[in-house]
Amino acid sequence: MLVLLMVFGATSFARAESKRGLSFLEFIKGITGKKVAVKAMDDDKEVADRAFLTSIKNTKTELHINENGVVEARGLKVTSLRGAALVANLTLGSGTIVFTLTTDNDTKFNEISNGRVTLADVAVGDMLNITGNLASPTADLVINSGILVQARTVHILKIVKMVKPQEIKTITGVVRTVSSSPQSFALSISDAKSFKVQVSSATKITKGSVAGTFADIVPDLKARVTGLVNAETNVIEASEIQVTVSAPATIRTILEGKLKATPNTIGLPAKLILAVNGVDYTVMVTAQTSILNRLWLTIPLASLRVGDEVRAFGLVNTEAKTSEATVVRDISL
């Protein structure tokens, strides 16, 4: 008997015997697109098995099919459950073979840590080692591609997904998109990373130093969020949100420009509009503001005229374009 060995790179092998095995090799080549290297080996079964096992001792996946259609496969990954059938993939090199595994009352299931189990214990993502027999599609089980196997034994190698624990953390970032139903927003902490912040009726919201509402959370504001952080999903269940109110950009300085508008009233407080380098500033004048001429003499507010050159000294908000003037000097008078 001639034993054939098919090599998929250095990690995956399939062996078939006799004429049936050769047609299987051709089938594998067809569905994986992988170039097949076929090598004749000693026809003594023990020698062949020993050589094969030596070759695969460091591999994770392997597939055997003999001349009687008996199948042994290791390293199948479950992709879906179809009633009493399982669909699983076997990766060989860069190719993948799809297996449909039918089960019945005679199929034996076991799991590496729990011993004997049932079909109900199999989950998508589990890794399997199986034995069985090649089967033909039936009226109630049609497969479009791959291999159909009546499973005799299914050994489940459970994958325990390591989930990062949730932690209470405080994260500061910039509010991006906001959703009102359900209440949530995206909190960006860098160009590459952001969190989805979930807001509930129990979430405490403050804006600056006062109580706030969800309506105070708007794009481009800075926010400090405390809550339960899921590092896997980047979701924060917020218990507290502090919306930062930016401090006004103020500076004590002199504005100099053309008086564009005078007050409509002679009473105080009053507002002047001063055009400074093409930008209009609102100058607030109060009873504490000194109003002077170019000789530094006190004059009444009504003396100021549109078009005069005016200097206003005080606290200037460069964002709001306002000035709380302590001195207004008309250097045209």
If asked whether residues 37 and 139 sit together in one domain, one would say yes
If asked whether residues 184 and 302 sit together in one domain, one would say no
pLDDT at 314: 92
Asked if the model's pLDDT at residue 35 lies above 80, the reply is no
pLDDT at 141: 55
pLDDT at 248: 64
Pick the residue with more confidence: 23 or 197? 197
Report residue 160's pLDDT band, with 50, 70 and 90 as the boundaries.
low
If asked whether residues 224 and 313 sit together in one domain, one would say no
Determine the average pLDDT of the residues in 101-129.
85
If asked whether residues 151 and 8 sit together in one domain, one would say yes
Task: Give me the domain span that covers residue 293.
Answer: 250-330
Last residue of one domain, picked from the residues 220, 243, 266: 243
Dist. CA 96–CA 147, nearest whole Å: 11
Reported as a single tens digit per residue, the pLDDT across 54-85 is 333 334 788 888 888 888 888 889 999 888 88
pLDDT at 165: 62
Determine the average pLDDT of the residues in 185-197.
90
If asked whether residues 122 and 58 sit together in one domain, one would say yes
Mean pLDDT estimate for the chain: 78
Structural domain contains residue 162: no
Reported as a single tens digit per residue, the pLDDT across 125-150 is 888 889 999 887 665 555 556 788 99
Domain of 281: which CATH number?
2.40.50.140
Q: Write out the chain in H/E/C secondary structure.
A: CCEEEEEECCCEEEEEEHHHHHHHHHHHHHHHCCCCEEEEECCCHHHHHHHHHHHHCCCCEEEEECCCCEEEEEEEEEEEEECCEEEEEEEECCEEEEEEEECCCCCEEEECCCEEECHHHCCCCCEEEEEEEECCCECCECCCCCEEEEEEEEEEECCCCCCCCCEEEEEEEEEEEEEECCEEEEEECCCCCEEEEECCCCCEEEECCEECCHHHCCCCCEEEEEEEEECCCCEEEEEEEEECCCCCCEEEEEEEEEEEECCCCCCCCEEEEEEECCEEEEEEECCCCEEEECCCCECCHHHCCCCCEEEEEEEEECCCCEEEEEEEEECCC
If asked whether residues 182 and 125 sit together in one domain, one would say no
If asked whether residues 109 and 202 sit together in one domain, one would say no
If asked whether residues 24 and 76 sit together in one domain, one would say yes
Structural domain contains residue 31: yes
If asked whether residues 239 and 264 sit together in one domain, one would say no
Domain of 189: which CATH number?
2.40.50.320
Structural domain contains residue 221: yes
Last residue of one domain, picked from the residues 157, 185, 206: 157
| Strand, helix or coil for residue 230 | strand
If asked whether residues 56 and 32 sit together in one domain, one would say yes
Indicate the number of domains in the chain. Answer: 3
Q: Write out 39-52 in H/E/C secondary structure.
A: EEECCCHHHHHHHH
Last residue of one domain, picked from the residues 179, 211, 243: 243
